[in-house]
Structure 1
Amino acid sequence: MTHDEFEFMEEPVAHHSDVDKADVWTILSVEDNPAYQQSLNFALSDLRYRGKKLQVLNANSRTSAATMISQHPEICIILLDVVMEEDDSGLRLVNTIREVLGNKMVRIVLLTGQPGMAPRQNIMEDYDIDDYWVKSKLNKENLQTIVYSNIRTWLHLRMLDEAQRGLQLIIEASQQLDQCRELPVFSDHVLATLGGLIGAAEGGIICARQSEQDEYTTGKILAASGKFSKLKKQQLDAIEPELHAQFEQLWQAKQHIFEDNRSLLYFPSTEFTGEAYLCMVCSEKPLTDQQIYMLQIFSENVQSNFKNIALFNRLSELAYMDPLLGVFNRNRLQRELNVLSSRHWYASELIVCSLEDFPSLYLTFGRDFINRCVSAVYTMLSDNLPGLMISARIGQDRLALLTNNTISIELPEQLSFQAVPVDGIDHRLPLRFGVVRLSSVSINNGEAAIHAAEHALELARKLNQTTYYFDSEVEQHAAQRVTQLTKLRQAIANRDFHIALQPKIEFATNKLASFEALARWTDSEGKMNPPDQFIGLAEQAGIIELLDIQIVELAFAAIIRLQQEGINVPVAINVSIRDLASKHYVEQLKQFPQKFDVSPTFIELEITETEAMKHYDQFIKVLSELKNLGYRVAIDDFGTGYSSLAHITELPAEVLKIDGSFVRNIGKTNSANHVIEMIMRLGNRFNFEVVAEGVETEEQKQLLREMGCHIGQGYLFARPMPLDDVIKWSKTNT
């Protein structure tokens, strides 16, 4: 051994547990030769790097080394003997370290006393080792170089790994922070991420909110961790003086402050809020430059999220709050009802109050006065309704109030007449109420509850009552109508309607005079829907024009088929005042004769007497134009309306149809006889053809003939029939 080689002395070295890990570099020597192990320990005992000593751990086998490595992640260098209990134990340990333990950073220096057992070139190519030395050539100078260079490399790798893990933590935290919408939850996430970045779990972190416009001491702690956990929700002026001074320093500086074991982070207010946010981070050890850099990166992200939360809260305020009263709006009320506990749901009532004549009041007095009226009504209701839990404004003129008491029938009546002060003057504003007990509505269905209360309000208005209490049966009927209307719209779109034809017969000869086309609808389930239901529903929904156009087309097609069978008689169709008011419908009537190549004289337009007289001025011109084109015009249900003699003489009609209610009572009541006799005189005087509908017996037929009526329609002759059956009937009965 030369003079510059290590002298291996058998002196003990300090056990690793006796030394503070933060003040040493940990090296593992894996060697099954105790003498060499002790000499190596001695040679390393006086080395220092960056002011820190070396701590040497010893293992004498592959198994003990693997265990020690897993227990000491701070090991930076492994001096590894190739040959131990087996010739390749050292090399197998390399694979265990890299592949099984997953330690890619620790520096592995392979030491061998027999180079032939592990050739350098092959080993460096096949194994993930960092250096290779033959023991006989390892002197003190080489050992010092090995230690210094590998510690330096390990330190750089660890810093890069920490930076990577820090960036990954920031990325993952940012994704979580982006989902936070509540400030306390967001603050907790910020603290957890800061603790992960710099190891502040024990030291603790504080996050506080402070208004830019108020005094510093008005701030409140939003979140805290570690030793500061007890400070959560306290005011800044209530915390210990040292911490208070730190926050005040940050408030004055209005920028981040980084100290050895304490970092102060400042997040200024945004355009959406006048509040700044302060964070104090206490770490167990001084922060590295890299950790400070990570904090700065994360702080930029936090500042953006503070801005996003402020924007979200502002949008939420606009989306869920009424700006006039500062109470919930319709959307928020629905959300609150959706999450109401079952106990409160079954014990509560929802009241909707409407300021009546709102459009007139608005036009007369203006928006500002009306807003003051709504505010005054809200105050009055809030003061007088017992058990009030939630208030909301769900329309310009409409308030909703949820109470946990049953409201007496008399209370809304009393409130509707109670004066409210507006601009110093008492006003008695017209109020109307709709009330629903939530137990009558599906639980946690806020939309249904609001709809039920509003439906009750509309019924109160329709019945001219101050208050109406929701009736589940009425609501069920309304729901059924909605379902039926949906089916009706689909049937119109699919052209699912057909017509049935009912004959009109000349009394004297029993010959066919004409037909009436009646709309029929069999839905997809095979159910026949009564015309008196779907016709009225179509009129209420404003889609009667679409239905009636299809019926007109079906009537023209039926005439073509009848004429092909040698049956040349007119077909009557029912026309509503809405149809005649529609330019599209009237234009279609004008085009259909040419489109179907059918003379309009074969189409008879039936309009009820009530509509004819009520809207006389609106449709007289249209009917005249259609009559001039060749269409026949009939007044249906004649005798039930209030026709004036002047209008009757001017009507562009050719047919009067006696309503079936008079035909049923002919010969039974004098009034029915008198009405029929009057109609016959009008027909004779003004040259109208008169048709009696609803003829069911021979007696009715005979009495009508005696009074001068020549044509009838009813079950006595035939029921309404499909077109194919009508053709068969016509060939055998006329």
Structure 2
Amino acid sequence: MFILAVTLIIIGIVFLVSGLAQAKKICAQTQHTGWRWLSLLIACFILGYSLVLGSLLIDKTVDPILFGLSMILFSGSIFVFMVTKFSLSTIQQLHMLAQEEKHNALHDPLTALPNRKHCIETVNFLVEDNIPFQLMLIDVVNFKQVNDGMGHFCGDQLLIQIGHRARSHLRKGDFIARIGGDEFVVVMPNQSMDHAFDIAHKINQSLKRPFSIDGFELTSSVIVGIGSYPKDGACVEQIINAADVAMYWAKTHGNEVASFSAHMSQDARRKLQISRQIDQAIENNEFQLFYQPIICLEHNIVCSYEALMRWLDEDGKPITPSDFIAIAEQSNKITSITEWMLDKVASDIEQLITAGIHCPVHVNLSAKDLMSKNLENQLSRLAFLNKNFVKMVVLEITETTAINRLRSPATLLERLKQMGFRISLDDFGTGFSSLSLLRDLPVDQIKIDQSFVYQMQKNERNRSIVANSISLAHGLGYTVVSEGVEHEEVVNILREYGCDYVQGYYFSPALPLERAINWTLSRDTVHYETLAQKRVKKTAP
């Protein structure tokens, strides 16, 4: 009984010592006063247990009361040990959950890189400590096309791998974050502008090596704008805005990397503002469609229209197509504009038909439209909803920007033609592969660029190019439209060369739909009166 009592008390002291160690860990993590008092109490328990143990060892005899006391002390030590153990375990789990939540709040869930909030906090710390740094704003060039054409999974995997490759080029102490969509930020404290340019070029070169994603091999590239603290701003917003302006300037000038300077600010900021206004313009219905008539030379009547975009901003000021179309292309918002345009054309076609005008509408498609599966889906939807849509729409593909950037244009155009659409090759003659395009692509029509038609009556070379283009197109079974006709003499020359259709300011500028309808009915009165008489005869008993 003596040995058992001594053993129980010794084990109890061990449990108490372990409990005290755990209580001290809890104190360190929580800094709570209650746990400090509990630690002191456990220490007193250890002292009391030690005194009882010493008394037993001196007397070397144990009566039933002392044995019962040793059992109670043993049980109490187990209780203290379990309370501290489970309390420590619970507190550690809560601490881990808190750390995980904090990590999630500051990191992008897809790439595991720091997010925009973390980026802003990091840059703020550098600014507060007055530490100079270079900030690179990185925009992935082809992310939207991958995301739309191959699905969100491939787009996500591309972003993850881009993050890994970009991070592999950074030094210890550099910082990289994904701040949204396909944009990344790299912050390099105490580094020169030359070093930032070097890193930007290295990142771009590494992204041009193929990525293996879901059985496909893809390449990518980025546009980088660089802002410098304190040269380009005194706060986070100013530095990021400077990098944003530099990135936009690089896009518009065909560069991969640019650092901010004052000369690019005004023009770039206007373009940046237009880019940000495009989504708002679609939502607020600020865009308008104008229609320029296309005239059939054989019958001298309107046979079709070209739909052209116009934009009045919220202040009523016009923004020219040459400005916003190019900006929409560069900022990957052209597909949103095309979606709006096709829906609007589908609606306007109904008004044309109601007015008795069955002339098709030419719709321009960009390269990025053609690389997106959304185009085919939308065309299929509109064709299903409107039985007249396919026969009333001609799809115009610009040779210089669209065809040369597509990997398999013939396959895509065949699918569009199988849906029933006619294809017109716009700006013919301005690209480098016009003849091979005529041979290989399933087009129905070419549109001779206005640069060859302009002042054709005074330029023999232009006349020769136009005459031979018309002859070549007819030999291949295509019809021909000549753009930019401004003089009657040019009309007569084109009629002599056998051109099928013409459009230009000589006949009419682009007009709002109602004015285009009225202009057509007024100009071709005899034609539409004849059609009306034929319809009356058909319905007569």
Q: TM-score range by the shorter chain?
A: 0.5 to 0.7
Specify the alignment match of 1:378 in structure 2.
171
Distance 1:464 1:694, change over 3 A: closer
Q: Which aligned pairs between 1:48-127 and structure 2 lie closer than 5 A? A: none
CA shift for structure 1 position 474: 3.9
Specify the alignment match of 2:502 in structure 1.
712
Specify the alignment match of 2:305 in structure 1.
515
Q: Distance in 1 between matches of 2:360 and 2:341?
A: 15
Q: Distance in 1 between matches of 2:229 and 2:407?
A: 49
* Aligned 8 A contact 1:269 1:276 in 2: no
Distance 1:530 1:310, change over 3 A: same
Specify the alignment match of 2:484 in structure 1.
694
* Aligned 8 A contact 1:330 1:393 in 2: no
Name the % identity: 27
* Aligned 8 A contact 2:245 2:269 in 1: no
CA shift for structure 1 position 659: 0.5
CA shift for structure 1 position 343: 9.9
* CA deviation string 1:343-378 (max 9, x = no partner): 948xx4535599xxxxxxxx9xx99x989975xx63
Q: Distance in 2 between matches of 1:651 and 1:417?
A: 37
CA shift for structure 1 position 519: 2.5
**Which residue among 16, 25, 28 is the counterpart of 1:269?**
25
CA shift for structure 1 position 728: 2.1
CA shift for structure 1 position 638: 0.6
Using CA pairs below 8 Å that are at least 6 residues apart, which structure has the higher relative contact order? 2
3-state SS of paired residue (2:235): coil
Specify the alignment match of 1:443 in structure 2.
234
* Aligned 8 A contact 1:513 1:569 in 2: yes
Distance 1:339 1:675, change over 3 A: same
* Aligned 8 A contact 2:399 2:425 in 1: yes
Distance 1:602 1:464, change over 3 A: closer
Q: Which aligned pairs between 1:194-205 and structure 2 lie closer than 5 A? A: none
Distance 1:310 1:702, change over 3 A: same
Distance 1:605 1:271, change over 3 A: farther
Matched AA of 2:397: I
Matched AA of 1:620: A
Distance 1:271 1:433, change over 3 A: farther
Please state if 1:338 is matched with 2:124: yes
* Aligned 8 A contact 1:333 1:392 in 2: no
CA shift for structure 1 position 569: 2.3
Specify the alignment match of 2:444 in structure 1.
654
Q: Distance in 1 between matches of 2:402 and 2:119?
A: 47
* Aligned 8 A contact 1:518 1:720 in 2: yes
Gaps of 5+ in 1: 1-251, 257-264, 281-299, 322-327, 355-362, 380-390, 419-431
Q: Distance in 2 between matches of 1:585 and 1:613?
A: 16
Please state if 1:401 is matched with 2:188: yes
Specify the alignment match of 1:384 in structure 2.
none
Q: Which aligned pairs between 1:236-635 and structure 2 lie closer than 5 A? A: 268-270=24-26, 334-335=120-121, 337-338=123-124, 344=130, 348-350=132-134, 352=136, 378=171, 391-395=173-177, 400-403=187-190, 407=192, 435-439=226-230, 441-445=232-236, 448-450=238-240, 452-453=242-243, 468-472=258-262, 474=264, 480-493=270-283, 495-507=285-297, 510-593=300-383, 595-598=385-388, 600-610=390-400, 613-614=403-404, 618-628=408-418, 630-635=420-425
Q: Distance in 2 between matches of 1:433 and 1:488?
A: 22
Distance 1:450 1:315, change over 3 A: farther
Gaps of 5+ in 2: 1-15, 38-83, 108-113, 139-157, 179-183, 203-222, 525-541
3-state SS of paired residue (1:731): helix
CA shift for structure 1 position 637: 0.6
Distance 1:616 1:439, change over 3 A: closer
* CA deviation string 1:618-671 (max 9, x = no partner): 343443354455433211111112335454134332221110111125245454
Q: Distance in 2 between matches of 1:516 and 1:673?
A: 24
* Aligned 8 A contact 2:371 2:406 in 1: no
Q: Distance in 1 between matches of 2:302 and 2:135?
A: 61
Q: Distance in 1 between matches of 2:104 and 2:420?
A: 61
Q: Distance in 1 between matches of 2:404 and 2:279?
A: 28
Specify the alignment match of 1:59 in structure 2.
none
Q: Distance in 1 between matches of 2:396 and 2:429?
A: 15
CA shift for structure 1 position 501: 0.9
Specify the alignment match of 1:638 in structure 2.
428
Matched AA of 1:636: D
Q: Distance in 2 between matches of 1:351 and 1:525?
A: 35
Distance 1:704 1:486, change over 3 A: same
* CA deviation string 1:485-540 (max 9, x = no partner): 44322333455543211111244664223211122333433333323333344444
Q: Distance in 2 between matches of 1:462 and 1:272?
A: 57
* CA deviation string 1:103-129 (max 9, x = no partner): xxxxxxxxxxxxxxxxxxxxxxxxxxx
* Aligned 8 A contact 2:289 2:309 in 1: yes
CA shift for structure 1 position 703: 3.5
Specify the alignment match of 1:153 in structure 2.
none
Q: Distance in 2 between matches of 1:562 and 1:452?
A: 48
CA shift for structure 1 position 729: 1.4
* CA deviation string 1:5-45 (max 9, x = no partner): xxxxxxxxxxxxxxxxxxxxxxxxxxxxxxxxxxxxxxxxx
Q: Distance in 2 between matches of 1:269 and 1:548?
A: 63
Matched AA of 1:350: Q
* Aligned 8 A contact 2:245 2:264 in 1: no
CA shift for structure 1 position 721: 0.5
* Aligned 8 A contact 2:135 2:185 in 1: no
Specify the alignment match of 1:683 in structure 2.
473
* Aligned 8 A contact 2:248 2:272 in 1: no
* Aligned 8 A contact 1:497 1:519 in 2: yes
3-state SS of paired residue (2:447): strand
TM-score (norm. length: structure 2) = 0.59
Q: Distance in 2 between matches of 1:371 and 1:585?
A: 32
Specify the alignment match of 1:182 in structure 2.
none
* Aligned 8 A contact 2:127 2:234 in 1: no
3-state SS of paired residue (2:471): helix
Distance 1:563 1:605, change over 3 A: same
* Aligned 8 A contact 2:305 2:361 in 1: yes
Cα root mean square deviation, aligned: 5.6
